[in-house]
Amino acid sequence: MTSSSATAPESDAAASTTAVPATGPVPADAASPPASAPAAGSPVLSVRDLSVSFADPRGDAPVHAVRGLSFDLARGEVLGLVGESGSGKSATGLAVLGLHDPRTTTVTGSIRLDGQELVGAGEQALRRVRGGRVALVFQDALTSLSPFHTVGAQLAEMYRLHHPGAGRAEARRQAAAMLDRVGIPAARTDDHPHRFSGGMRQRVMIAMALLNNPDVLIADEPTTALDARVQDQVLDLLGELQREHGTAVLLVSHDLGVVAGSTDRTLVLRGGREVESAPTAALLAAPREPYTKALVGAALTLDSVPGTPLPTVDDPSPAPRPTPRLRSGAAAAGSGSATGGRWLVEVEDLSVHFPGRRRFPGTRSEPVRAVEGLGLRIAPGETLGLVGESGSGKSTTSRVLAGLQPATAGTVRYDGLDATRPDRALRRRLAKEVQLVFQDPYASLNPRRTVAQTLETPLRLHTALGAGERRQRSAELLEQVGLPADHLDRYPHEFSGGQRQRIGIARALAAEPRLIIADEPVSALDVSVQAQVLNLLMELRERLGVAFLFVSHDLAVVRHFCDRVAVMHRGRLVESTDRDRLFAAPHTDYTRELLAAAR
């Protein structure tokens, strides 16, 4: 990209005019009803027939991330750019700032910022735009803030870059002020990013983005990495600032929930093409396109009918099963009666501590108490949801049950037997009857082994089947999770995320387990895929009557899938009760907060 002198002066003019909207008419603009915003005045950003494609490093055919996308963004408007991974939404965001690597990427079409063409604009012009008139907020603030510089310094730099006259002191003052505005005390301006919590870091990012009153803010999945409660806080903050500065926001997200609460208009992307675009409220209320319908339907809310099959792209309006899962009630009773019958799993004041960092030879810092005095019970065939924010110790608990993590204290009884110090026989039983489904479909399959090899491992370990029978069985398993049997000899990288998750489930089923521990099995998947996998799990649960320990941070999913729910916070059990009771009348404030955030 060489600076074309033609655009340079023009951009100067544009730059000078940008001062106006930033100061004067902003409140009025913000006040005007969002729906009418597009009509009012010329759009600050207008994208026409935008296409982005990446060259494949292996030299294969180029990948088309965005194809012929067009949209307008009016001043002060918030436009939601919704799509599943690979829909090209992020690529669009980057294209606006010309941040793609010019060697591997080709961008065609037109992006006009106040009439200034950005596609093919010179580096000089673009640099003036970046951070000055268009600012970015990335998904993960930990990686997008420099770990080597203090947040204060990074903001100050942002300021000075676009106020050439300003001195260091001035810049630092501005930075401190902005940080204070987003709720970060001046005392911490000299801290490095890794010292902040996820939410705080995201606040820093936002502060930095808005430091120079940009006309347009591109927020790329700004809250995806955060817990629900923090998510809300950050979104609120973003909203406030946006109204204050009258900044136009392009909110890129995969989560309809996020978009619903905070955008005026929504544009749905799929495979780099626009599917549907309408005022958000309208779009959510009455989606026109089937894909949109599916997305809206698949996005679980707290008022779905538990246990019912969810709409998917292929089947936008599934027939509700005649008898929606009644076990819930049964389980509720069961929890009482199970004293007579016996629990599958009983956990009594379980504690898991991790040794602290070694400071000196000998001395160590305080151990990390991941789980503290936890008690749990799972009846056969029952599904227990384990809810909590990141770091609440839910994964650790599941690892203990899976026998991957020794307990520091407390007992785990499986089928009445002591599983904390199991003998060989019990260890074999546990290995067979307790299986795992993981969160990350990419990490959970060995990239160097075919599906067949992966599926046959448990068979070889736990069954007496011969080679032929094993292959036979794995084929069945594959079909059971809805994949064609002829995929047996493929390698994981030939499958998509959802398919891999299915394979993971098939592997779990292979040993005919009685308990499946599913650690966030759907949270890494796209909404529609999420729905499909959930449907699959529910179906299998009905068919095989296997018990589940379902670990998740997503209340909606838990509510839809589980019979009973246990809430964890800072390694302790906050509350554990029947699903309906919990969602109807939460006992603790913490649970209430969680629910509020999920609404």
Partner 1 sequence: MAVVEHVAASDAPPVRPAPPGLLRRVCRDRTGAVALGVVALFLLLALAAPLIAALYGKNPTEHYGQNAPGLLSDGGLPIAPNGGISGEFWFGLEPGLGRDVFTQLLYGIRTSLLIAFASATVTTALGVLAGVAVGYLGGITDRVFGFLSNVLLAFPTLLLLLALSPVIQSRLVDPGTAEPEWMQFLVLVLVFSAFGWIPLALSLRATVRSLRERDFVQSARAMGAGGFHVVVRELLPNVRAQLLVHATMAVPAFVASEAVLSFLGVGINEPVPDWGRMISRGSEVFRADPTYMFFPGVALLLFVLAFNLLGDAVRDALDPRAAR
Partner 2 sequence: MLSFALRRILQALAVLAAVSAAAFALFYAAPADPARAACGPRCDTGQVAAVRASMGLDQPLLTQYTDYLTGIVAGRDIQDVDGSTLHCDAPCLGYSYRLHQPVTEALVDHLPVTVSLAAGALAFLVVFGLGTGFVAALRHGTRTDRLLSGFTLIGASVQIYFLGYVAQWGLVYTTGLLPLPSYTPPATDPAAWAGGMLLPWIVLGFVNSAVFARLSRSQLLETMDEEYVRTARGKGLGRLRAHLKYTARGAAGPLVQLLGLEAGALLGGAVITETVFGLNGVGRFATEAVEGQDLPAVVGAVLLAACFVVLFVALADLVIAWLDPRIRLG
List interacting residues with partner 2 (CB under 8 A): 97, 99, 103, 123, 127-132, 135-136, 138, 140, 143-148, 157-158, 161-162, 192, 194-195, 208, 357-361
Query: Strands 78-83 and 63-73, how do they pair?
Result: unpaired
DSSP of 414-465: ETTEE-SS--HHHHHHHHHHEEEE-S-TTTSS-TTS-HHHHHHHHHHHH---
Query: What is the Cα–Cα distance from 441 to 453, expressed in whole angstroms?
Result: 17
For 539, the 3-state DSSP assignment is helix
Smallest distance, partner 1 to C-beta of residue 504, A: 8
What's at 434, amino acid-wise?
V
Those residues whose C-beta lies under 8 Å from the C-beta of residue 531, and which sit 6 or more positions away, are 294, 297, 298, 300, 310, 311, 312
The region of 107-115, 127-135, 366-374, 437-445 touching partner 1 under the rule CB under 8 A is 437-445
For 526, the 3-state DSSP assignment is coil
Residue 528 sits in the site that holds partner 1 (CB under 8 A): yes
For 551, the 3-state DSSP assignment is strand
The region of 56-64, 116-124, 185-193, 200-208 touching partner 1 under the rule CB under 8 A is 56-64
What letter does residue 367 receive in the DSSP assignment?
P
Residue 358 sits in the site that holds partner 1 (CB under 8 A): no
108 binds, among partner 2, partner 1, none (CB under 5 to 8 A by kind): none
123 binds, among partner 2, partner 1, none (CB under 5 to 8 A by kind): partner 2
The region of 149-157, 176-184, 494-502, 544-552 touching partner 1 under the rule CB under 8 A is 494-502
Give the residue, chosen from 438, 548, 550, 590, that forms a contact with partner 1 under the rule CB under 8 A. Answer: 438
Assess contact for 541 and 509: CB atoms under 8 A: no
Residue 150 sits in the site that holds partner 1 (CB under 8 A): no
Residue 496 sits in the site that holds partner 1 (CB under 8 A): yes
Closer residue to partner 2, CB minimum distance, 203 or 502: 203
Distances (CA, A) of 296 to 301, 321, 531: 10, 20, 11
Assess contact for 377 and 413: CB atoms under 8 A: no
Closer residue to partner 1, CB minimum distance, 124 or 450: 450
Can you read off the two tokens belonging to residue 565? 């729910």
Smallest distance, partner 1 to C-beta of residue 434, A: 7
438 binds, among partner 2, partner 1, none (CB under 5 to 8 A by kind): partner 1
Closer residue to partner 1, CB minimum distance, 153 or 475: 475
Query: What is the Cα–Cα distance from 492 to 499, expressed in whole angstroms?
Result: 9
Smallest distance, partner 2 to C-beta of residue 448, A: 24
Closer residue to partner 2, CB minimum distance, 210 or 488: 210
Closer residue to partner 1, CB minimum distance, 34 or 393: 393
Smallest distance, partner 1 to C-beta of residue 53, A: 10
Smallest distance, partner 2 to C-beta of residue 71, A: 21
Q: Which helix (H) or strand (E) holds 544?
A: helix 527-544
Smallest distance, partner 2 to C-beta of residue 164, A: 11
Q: Which of 415, 413, 401 is nearest to 342 (CA)?
A: 415
Measure the CA angle with vertex 426, ends 422 and 428; round to 5°.
115
Q: For binding to partner 1 (CB under 8 A), which residues are involved?
A: 54, 56-60, 63, 65, 84-87, 90-91, 271, 402-404, 427-428, 430-432, 434-436, 438-440, 443-449, 453-454, 457-458, 461-462, 491, 493-499, 507, 511, 526, 528-529, 532
